[in-house]
Amino acid sequence: MPAPYALLNYQRYNQRTQQALLALGVSSLKPGLSLLLAVLLVVSCAQPFQYGLAVAWLSLACTATSLGFYYCHYWNKQLQQENLPPAILRRAELWGCAYGAVVATLWGSSSQFMHPDQVSNLMIAMIYFGVCAGAAAISVLGMAHMGVGAVIGCLLFIQPLNEIFPHNWLWFSIMVGLYHIVILMSSWQRHQIVAKNLLLAQEQEALIHAQQREAERANKANQDKSAFLAAASHDLRQPVHAVMLLGHALQMKTRDEESRILVEQIITAGKALSDQFNSLMELSRLESGGYTLNIQSLALAEFLRRKLQAQQEVAASRGIALSGRLDWRLAQAALHSDISLLNRIIDNLLDNALKFSAAGSRVLLCAQLRRGQLRFAVLDQGSGIPLAEQENVFLPHVQLQNPTRERARGIGLGLSIVKEAALLLQADLQLRSAPGRGSNFWLTLPADMLTLHSVPLITPRRASMNQADELARLRGKQLLIVEDDLMVASALRTWAESWGMQVQHHAEPQKVPPQLAADLVICDIRLPGENDGIYWLSQWLADWPDAGGVLVSGESGDAVQERAEQEGLLLLAKPVDPDLLLQTLLSLKR
């Protein structure tokens, strides 16, 4: 059967909107107000001879009010449920029409209290018109409800007017009819406005849910990507690590010049691959949102000295003058920041400046105090960057002055890492540059990352020792390698034996003899069994007080690094530069 929604024009709307309109209409009804006005009308306007009419009319008012309360109570609960079937909605609408008919009968018959030449007639008309206007203002049940009420109320109200106003009843009836038409139009317009608002709200809700689903999908994809990168990271680091170790060992054994050149090229290619891999993994880790800041303190002057010292050899080889400048007000200042991130930012900015500066030019690293905040600035005299391209230099793999992708000029990830690291530090990163006038990158740290007038950290420096004498101390040392990847273990053994160390290898930590008492331990983290390399290395170093150990692993997450730091263990991420590994072993035996 056709639904009453055709009268309401509900066929325009989906079922959810139909139910929302009905629920709003039911909740807007005020049945108690109708009874209050009925009592007021009887008290104010009824004549003594109308006692029977007043009792009957008030009985009808009580009936309408009771019906209204039942209708509101029952259907308020029903319409709160989700996805009601159309049959239930049709029943709710029919109930609304029935209630509207009863209320219209009540107030349409209020004209029965009128009598010729009575002042109260005006009050009765005003109350009736007010009830009609109120019904139009609060009801959104639609044209079926309002139409039934308007027709019944109008016909009943004008029925006795020819006796009460014998000379003007026709004009008065026309006026009442026009008033009801205006009321119906007003109710219909409000109904359309409310329906449109409901549709807009539903569309907004759908958009929010779609956005949430997309965000969840993006987070899931990001988690999957992170899981894939973690697995790929560990698996790809292993062969690169082995290639670098074997190349380093082969270089020591090669005597003829031609072979040495080939080996050096292998090592150079391995280092380039290692740098590219590490940069990609670092950028992915910073962008994933899983990085946890590790705030440490360090004397600013010492930090600046280390940065300059680390890059002096590269600058000198390229004929570039590298210098630093420290604001005199910062001479006793201390940094409180994630030193690892800050190191990466300054290293990348200096590396970028040196790569794109010509021989004979200058690169300057400054630490300045600006409005209570610390600002690092790296200035160069390179070719400069056009204004239109300055945003692009922070995008991954963008190199403006390297169209042939020359490897010596990097792979275009350095400034992307700088940008992501600056965001994590909540630091302001700015660039000012112009073609032919060089570039100026500056990083302004939050004020709480700087303390003035602190005691500077003084790192005692050991007396220099002849490199050959240092390397001689490794000869004959017992080195324990705990590594389940046989390719990496073989490369490590070959490399270590080339330095004169005596090597023992175990793929399973449980099989390491307790009486071994090794001098040095190189241990992977991901090992067979319940416990990882951090646990086992801590146990061995506790059992062998004179031993030194280092973790060498493809595990590079923050949680792993934090655990290693808590245990006081050194952690080197694969692929490790063999020179760095060698220096680490030397430092462990000093």
Confidence of residue 290 (pLDDT cuts 50, 70, 90): low
Confidence of residue 12 (pLDDT cuts 50, 70, 90): low
Confidence of residue 522 (pLDDT cuts 50, 70, 90): very high
pLDDT tens digits, 28-73: 778 888 888 888 888 888 777 788 888 888 898 899 888 888 888 8
Does residue 220 register a pLDDT over 60? yes
What is the rounded CA–CA span in Å between residue 409 and residue 218? 33
Does 481 or 271 have the greater pLDDT score? 481
261, exposed or middle or buried, with CB in 10 Å at 0-12, 13-18, 19+?
Answer: exposed
Say what the pLDDT of residue 403 is: 46
Confidence of residue 508 (pLDDT cuts 50, 70, 90): very high
Confidence of residue 284 (pLDDT cuts 50, 70, 90): low
Q: Which residues contact 225 (CB under 8 A, 6 or more apart)?
A: 284, 288
Say what the pLDDT of residue 468 is: 63
Pairing state between β 373-380 and 439-444 = antiparallel
Q: Which residues contact 237 (CB under 8 A, 6 or more apart)?
A: 277, 554, 573, 574, 575
Locate 132 and state its tokens.
């009609």
Does residue 139 register a pLDDT over 80? no
Q: Is 298 helix (H, G, I), strand (E, B) or coil?
A: strand
Q: Which of 2-6, 97-101, 132-136, 565-569 has the lowest mean pLDDT?
A: 2-6
Give the residue-averaged pLDDT of 186-206: 82
Give the residue-averaged pLDDT of 126-142: 74
Residue type, 318: R
Confidence of residue 330 (pLDDT cuts 50, 70, 90): confident
449: which DSSP letter? G
Whole-structure pTM value = 0.47
Give the residue-averaged pLDDT of 135-149: 71
Whether residue 435 is preceded by a cis peptide bond, meaning omega within 30 degrees of 0, is no
b/e per residue 188-204 (b: at least 16 CB within 10 A): bebbeebbeebbeeeee
Confidence of residue 276 (pLDDT cuts 50, 70, 90): low
Give the residue-averaged pLDDT of 547-556: 82
What is the rounded CA–CA span in Å between residue 302 and residue 40? 90
Give the residue-averaged pLDDT of 131-135: 79
What is the rounded CA–CA span in Å between residue 296 and residue 372? 20
Locate 181 and state its tokens.
């038409």
Does residue 480 register a pLDDT over 90? yes
Say what the pLDDT of residue 444 is: 92
Say what the pLDDT of residue 229 is: 62
What separation, in Å, do the N-terminal and C-terminal C-alpha atoms of the chain show?
Answer: 95
What is the rounded CA–CA span in Å between residue 565 and residue 588? 16
Backbone angles phi, psi at 570, to 5 degrees: -80, 140
Give the residue-averaged pLDDT of 76-80: 82
Contact 289, 223 (CB under 8 A): no
Q: In what order do the strands lie in the sheet with 321-326?
A: 321-326, 362-370, 373-380, 439-444, 428-433
pLDDT tens digits, 373-420: 899 999 998 888 888 787 878 776 565 554 434 444 455 677 888 888
Distances (CA, A) of 562 to 290, 500, 538, 587: 13, 33, 14, 22
b/e per residue 349-383 (b: at least 16 CB within 10 A): bbebbbbbbeeebebbbbbbeeeebbbbbbbbbbb
What is the rounded CA–CA span in Å between residue 33 and residue 458? 84
Round the average pLDDT of the chain to a whole number and report it: 80
Give the residue-averaged pLDDT of 530-550: 90
Give the residue-averaged pLDDT of 569-579: 83
Does residue 548 register a pLDDT over 60? yes
Confidence of residue 589 (pLDDT cuts 50, 70, 90): confident
What is the rounded CA–CA span in Å between residue 137 and residue 157? 20
Does 434 or 502 have the greater pLDDT score? 502
Residue type, 305: R
